[in-house]
Amino acid sequence: MRRYITFLILLIAVNYSCTKDIVDDRATYVDVFDSFWHIMDERYVFFEEKNVDWDSVYEDYKPKFKEVKYYHQAIDLFEEIILELNDGHISVTTYWHHVISVSGIDTLNALPYLNYEKIYERYQLNNIREYPKVHIGQLNNSITYLRPLYGLDKISSADVGLANYEHKNGVILDLRDCMGGNSEGLGLLDGFFEGNKDLYYRQYKNGKEHHNFTKKYSVKLEGLGTVSSETPIVVLINDNTYSMGNFMASVMKDITACKLVGQKTGGGGGCVISVYLNGGWSLTYTFDRVYNLSGELIEDGILPDIEVLKSKDFWENDHQETGEDPQLEKALEVLLF
């Protein structure tokens, strides 16, 4: 009996010692940095494209984090690293829910969001249906206007009744200010083609080295053919077209004869995941790479076919007051003339 009790105690002791290796409970600022650096090192997919020497980031910042005594000092250091990475998909969230991201730091150059209420009014968009993540409406001259919003999830063009809108003279797909969403939001594009088509390719990490990647997997969608291939299509893009919006612009360029009008998209070519770091902080990072059908990465953004640039001052003042939208006007011009 004594042997069994000894065996039982031994089992419990082994169990408790092995749990220490499974859970990392450390919580100093340097531990937070360590966990951030290691997870990124093994999982992040764009070191080469961002031209970042991640080992030197460790060598430079580890001693700095060792000196950190106060919360704001840690935030300052993370801001420096995130600016160096310059990836809008990466963010570090502190224990107190302060989010450190490029868009949060680099606010000076960011474009203001468009005033869609004024745009709809000025350009007489009618029969508007405002779904939670998609707006659809009718413009004059038999043109359909379709606008996916941030956070779009699993959807089909049939769900928003694309077939019910007149599009004899064309369709405008407005991806401006579409900052992202779920990859299944691309289902909205099923009205623009027929048959089972490849949309884009994805590639994942399959090892700890920065160059360890899987093969490319194609992502397919069954088209409904609601809009005929002869119908002219314009896709509006701007600097705030990011992530899923950027995917959509790339897909439309590949699978239709559309014209991209506006400004270069903000980029974002991958999907993100969030994990807890040490000390209750968390990290959101890109864990896969998206390629267009020509095999090019779309992380850096998509260039427009017709560039329409306006000053930041115009978008901040004139546009906000009047709804004037030179990019939409150019789209109408492309479709009608």
Which residues contact other proteins by CB under 8 A?
A: 1, 4, 7-8, 11-12, 14-15, 18-20, 22-25, 27, 35, 39, 91, 93, 95-97, 154, 156, 183-184, 186-187, 199, 202, 204-207, 214, 217-221, 271-280, 282, 284, 287-288
Minimum distance, C-beta of residue 133 to other proteins, in the bound complex (Å):
15
Minimum distance, C-beta of residue 333 to other proteins, in the bound complex (Å):
33
Minimum distance, C-beta of residue 138 to other proteins, in the bound complex (Å):
27
Strand partners, 194: 224
CB nearer other proteins, residue 97 or residue 211? 97
Minimum distance, C-beta of residue 153 to other proteins, in the bound complex (Å):
10
Find where tokens 């009790």 sit: 5
Q: Are 113 and 102 in contact (CB under 8 A)?
A: no
Minimum distance, C-beta of residue 186 to other proteins, in the bound complex (Å):
6
CB nearer other proteins, residue 1 or residue 108? 1
Both tokens of residue 235?
């896709």
Q: What are phi and psi of 49, to 5 degrees?
A: -65, -35
DSSP string covering 192-206 = G-EEEEEEEEEEEB-
CB nearer other proteins, residue 151 or residue 326? 151
CB nearer other proteins, residue 183 or residue 292? 183
Minimum distance, C-beta of residue 151 to other proteins, in the bound complex (Å):
11
Minimum distance, C-beta of residue 203 to other proteins, in the bound complex (Å):
8
Residue of 197, 198, 129 whose CA lies nearest to 159: 129
CB nearer other proteins, residue 275 or residue 309? 275
CB nearer other proteins, residue 143 or residue 290? 290
Minimum distance, C-beta of residue 254 to other proteins, in the bound complex (Å):
15
CA distance 265 to 253: 13
CA distance 301 to 267: 4
Residue of 184, 311, 187 whose CA lies nearest to 239: 311
CB nearer other proteins, residue 18 or residue 108? 18
CA distance 177 to 188: 17
What are the b/e assignments for 132-161, b being 16+ CB within 10 Å?
Answer: ebbbbbbbeeebbbbbbbbebeebbbeebe
CB nearer other proteins, residue 133 or residue 259? 133
Residue of 2, 114, 34, 46 whose CA lies nearest to 271: 46
Residue of 228, 146, 144, 230 whose CA lies nearest to 193: 228
* Cβ neighbours for 12, distance < 8 A, ≥ 6 positions apart: none
Minimum distance, C-beta of residue 104 to other proteins, in the bound complex (Å):
13
DSSP string covering 99-132 = EEEHHHH--SSPPPPP-HHHHHHHTT-EEEEE-S
Residue of 261, 271, 268, 218 whose CA lies nearest to 246: 268
